[in-house]
Structure 1
Amino acid sequence: MRFDVFTIFPGMFTGFLTESILKRAQQAGLIEIAIHNIRDWTTDKHRAVDDTPYGGGPGMVMMAPPIVHAVESVLGQEQNSTPIIIMSPSGELFTQDIARQLACFPRLALICGRYEGIDDRVRIILRARELSIGDYVLTGGELAAAVVIDVVSRLVPGVIDPESLAEESHNSGLLEYPQYTRPPIFRGLGVPEILLSGNHAKIAEWRRMMALCRTAARRPDLLARAALTPRDHELLQRCPPDPFAHQGPVYEGDQLERPEGGEQGASR
């Protein structure tokens, strides 16, 4: 999958795109990320990309011509088949469902706004979709575009282990259950004993219950939209009073030895 990013601050993406999973995905040829400086499509000696808003008001507005020419020049004949996204606090909320939709396309264009925003004729001419990553205002669309790249890239086949994706927060409509790893005891807190039992059916049920309970406590709006089974409703009745409190045993001191019971490595 290819991402084309249009910005006036291309340097903001350098570190983010050259580390961790995105770096490996690019090296493996699974994704391609191209950063385009909108100023390269200006025509005046000052390379201006903004001007004062018609109707008055504070700040500056990004002009339509450089952005439109940049996108049309880069996308060419693929413009009509490529989703064009404007990152804007006025856009619809970016969700995992939207990420899955976008991941189905071979190419995605992201336009990063600045200042007071972008001349609305850009949206109209390019038939662009406006997305927001949350109910707050950033200084520009670069960070938001980076978030979209990260979320969508993880859904490209081969970038992330499918088994890891299956149980992540939001993928099933619920928040993820709590995770634990070695050491078995830290600062007097032990791992929930069910995770050390080796009983995979009971572990799966506990994880489902904790996902349901945590979603009910923190994001009831997600729970209201989730497809719940009769067994899910039964598990919800067993929710602990505080689903975010530690659910494992508490020990005195830092006992580093493994608690008795369970199979060694059963939770791994």
Structure 2
Amino acid sequence: MRFDIITVLPGLLESPFAHSILQRAQKKGIAEIHVHNLRDYSSQKQKSVDDYPYGGGSGMVMTIEPFAKCITALKTERDYDEVIFMSPDGETFNQKIANQLSIQTNVIILCGHYKGIDQRIRDIFVTREISIGDYVLSGGELPAAVLVDAIVRLIPGVLSDETSALSDSFQDDMLDAPVYTRPADWNGHKVPDILLSGNTPEVEKWRFEQALERTRQRRPDLLK
């Protein structure tokens, strides 16, 4: 799967993609992550990519031309399944959307900044708008990193144990059950006996019951 991320702050995305699972996915050739500096597509002498909003108001607006040039250039090289704009007024990102996007091949992600981007970019080029929550950040770079991380870990071959992603919280509209590891007794705090029993059916039953109860307590809205 290939991601092309368009941003005015490419350096902000260097660290998230250079470590852990995302790094391994790229080294294995399972995922490609390309970050494009929007200023490289500006025709302005100072490489500016923003201007004052029509009608007045505070803040600056990202202009249409640099985005259009970059997206058009990318589309001449390959077909894209989605052009995603990270926006606080997009659909709220969740595990189901991550699952849907994980089976795509090529995706462009636009990172906004300042007051926002010219609406015509959204009208002409964007196929999907996604928000990571009901709050506003300084730009779309961190949300883009969240999106890519959540998607890439679902691609077959990325995780050493592929079943791990299938049992994550939210995959079945439930939170995950509690997990434990060695030692079995730490200062009198013991691992539940059922997990030490070796009785796989009973362990799975316990995990389901624990997940259900945790979801009831913490996220009852997930239960339908």
Using the size of structure 1 for normalisation, the TM-score is 0.81
How far the C-alpha of 1:195 sits from its partner, in A, is 0.7
Hey, what does 2:133 align to over in structure 1? 134
Task: Give the number of the structure whose residues are more often strand, by fraction.
Answer: 2
Cα distance in 2 between the residues matched to 1:128 and 1:49: 22
- Call closer, same or farther: CA 1:113–1:124 in 2, change over 3 Å: same
Hey, what does 2:13 align to over in structure 1? 13
- C-alpha offsets along residues 36-73 of structure 1, whole Å, 9 cap, x if unaligned? 00000000111111111112111111111111111111
Q: Secondary structure at the match of 1:16?
A: coil
Cα distance in 2 between the residues matched to 1:18 and 1:77: 25
Hey, what does 2:162 align to over in structure 1? 162
Hey, what does 1:149 align to over in structure 2? 148
How far the C-alpha of 1:185 sits from its partner, in A, is 2.0
How far the C-alpha of 1:162 sits from its partner, in A, is 2.0
Q: Secondary structure at the match of 1:217?
A: helix
Cα distance in 2 between the residues matched to 1:75 and 1:182: 51
Note the 1:46-61 alignment, pairs <5 A. Answer: 46-61=46-61
- C-alpha offsets along residues 225-253 of structure 1, whole Å, 9 cap, x if unaligned? xxxxxxxxxxxxxxxxxxxxxxxxxxxxx
Alignment of 1:91 onto 2:83: no
Moved over 6 A (4+): none
Identical pairs, percent? 48
Note the 1:184-203 alignment, pairs <5 A. Answer: 184-203=184-203
Q: Secondary structure at the match of 1:157?
A: coil
How far the C-alpha of 1:186 sits from its partner, in A, is 2.3
Cα distance in 2 between the residues matched to 1:34 and 1:75: 14
Letter in 2 for 1:57: G
Hey, what does 2:183 align to over in structure 1? 183
- C-alpha offsets along residues 177-228 of structure 1, whole Å, 9 cap, x if unaligned? 010001112243111111111111111111000111111111111112xxxx
How far the C-alpha of 1:77 sits from its partner, in A, is 5.7
Cα distance in 1 between the residues matched to 2:151 and 2:46: 36
Cα distance in 2 between the residues matched to 1:137 and 1:15: 22
- Deviates further, 163-172 or 69-78: 69-78
Hey, what does 1:45 align to over in structure 2? 45
Unaligned runs of 5+ in 2: none
Q: Secondary structure at the match of 1:78?
A: coil
Cα distance in 1 between the residues matched to 2:27 and 2:190: 40
Hey, what does 1:212 align to over in structure 2? 212
Letter in 2 for 1:189: H
Give aligned pairs, total. 223
Unaligned runs of 5+ in 1: 225-268
Letter in 2 for 1:98: I
Letter in 2 for 1:113: G
Hey, what does 2:174 align to over in structure 1? 174
Cα distance in 2 between the residues matched to 1:50 and 1:168: 41
The alignment's C-alpha RMSD in Å is: 1.2
Using the size of structure 2 for normalisation, the TM-score is 0.96
Cα distance in 2 between the residues matched to 1:189 and 1:68: 59
- Call closer, same or farther: CA 1:147–1:77 in 2, change over 3 Å: same
Structure of greater Rg: 1
Q: Secondary structure at the match of 2:36?
A: strand
- Call closer, same or farther: CA 1:26–1:172 in 2, change over 3 Å: same
Letter in 2 for 1:139: S
Q: Secondary structure at the match of 1:59?
A: coil
Cα distance in 2 between the residues matched to 1:128 and 1:110: 10
- With CA pairs under 8 Å and 6+ residues apart, which has the higher RCO, 1 or 2? 2
